[in-house]
């Protein structure tokens, strides 16, 4: 069985790492290059950098920052936000990113998933899906959780897998920043209907939440932000806990 991955997420706004609750109440928490290097030393398996305002403000990607991150990291990292065309993915790859995470643009133009997968391989493409449980249905949102669209989580995840996505990064907007646990039921369903890895995001607050998301939610990787940014759960402590609870981690 493949080892489960622990992935700190660094939301970037104006070159700084920030964090909010339910996609709101945004606060600065540090320098993205320094934080990334720290997490790599602590034993993180990968990192995700998301430019959280790029899609909304229609800004191009922060390729200079990606170059600095790549120069200071020895673990894989992906970058998302503002990827609107194949050229944007090319810029990121050239700057040193290992994967791209696409969200709003592929909802508007699903063919972009096919293009990136054909151009660089499925392993380069993460499709991020932000969704909120509303009246028993997982409603997909874009533009940093600002705009609902006519897509449902499970059908959309199946479609992007068929188009060539290599991984799904699912963020539950209901759970984001609450530290009350991941959306394990939805994650379990995603893992059962998909053949590609599922990364869980939204709700990490305790070591037990990670145990639950790997055992009950069947996630392949778990992503978190504030608990790492504020050193509430150091990564070495988390990995030791998971090993003690019979979860295979690196």
CB–CB of 7/46 below 8 Å? yes
| Cα dist from 37 to 10, 69, 161, 182, 246, whole Å | 12, 8, 31, 26, 28
Q: Is 130 a catalytic residue?
A: yes
Of the listed 45, 51, 88, 130, which one is catalytic?
Answer: 130
Q: Is 51 a catalytic residue?
A: no
Of the listed 11, 88, 176, 212, which one is catalytic?
Answer: 11
Pairwise CA distance, residues 79 & 45, whole Å: 15
Measured CA angle at 43 (ends 38, 46), to 5 deg: 85
At 102 the three-state DSSP class reads: strand
Pairwise CA distance, residues 87 & 25, whole Å: 33
Active site residues: 11, 130
């Amino acid at each position: 069985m493949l080892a489960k991955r622990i992935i700190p997420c660094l939301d970037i706004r104006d070159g700084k790492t920030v964090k909010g609750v339910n996609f709101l109440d945004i606060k600065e928490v540090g320098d993205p290059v320094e934080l990334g290097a720290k997490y790599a030393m602590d034993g993180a398996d990968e990192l995700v950098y998301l430019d959280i305002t790029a899609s909304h403000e229609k800004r191009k990607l922060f390729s200079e920052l990606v170059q600095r991150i790549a120069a200071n990291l020895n673990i894989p990292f992906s970058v998302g936000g503002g990827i609107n065309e194949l050229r944007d993915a090319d810029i990121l790859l050239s700057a040193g990113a290992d994967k791209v995470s696409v969200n709003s643009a592929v909802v508007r133009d699903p063919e972009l998933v096919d293009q990136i997968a054909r151009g660089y391989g499925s392993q380069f493409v993460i499709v991020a899906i932000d969704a909120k449980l509303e009246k028993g249905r997982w409603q997909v949102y874009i533009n940093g959780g600002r705009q609902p669209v006519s897509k449902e989580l499970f059908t959309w995840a199946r479609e992007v897998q068929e188009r060539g996505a290599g991984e799904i990064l699912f963020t539950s907007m209901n759970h984001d920043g609450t530290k009350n646990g991941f959306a394990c039921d939805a994650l379990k369903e995603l893992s059962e209907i998909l053949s590609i890895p599922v990364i869980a995001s939204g709700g990490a607050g305790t070591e037990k939440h990670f145990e639950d998301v790997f055992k009950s939610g069947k996630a392949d990787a778990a992503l978190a932000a504030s608990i790492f940014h504020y050193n509430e759960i150091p990564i070495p402590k988390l990995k030791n806990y998971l090993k003690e609870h019979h979860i295979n981690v690196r």
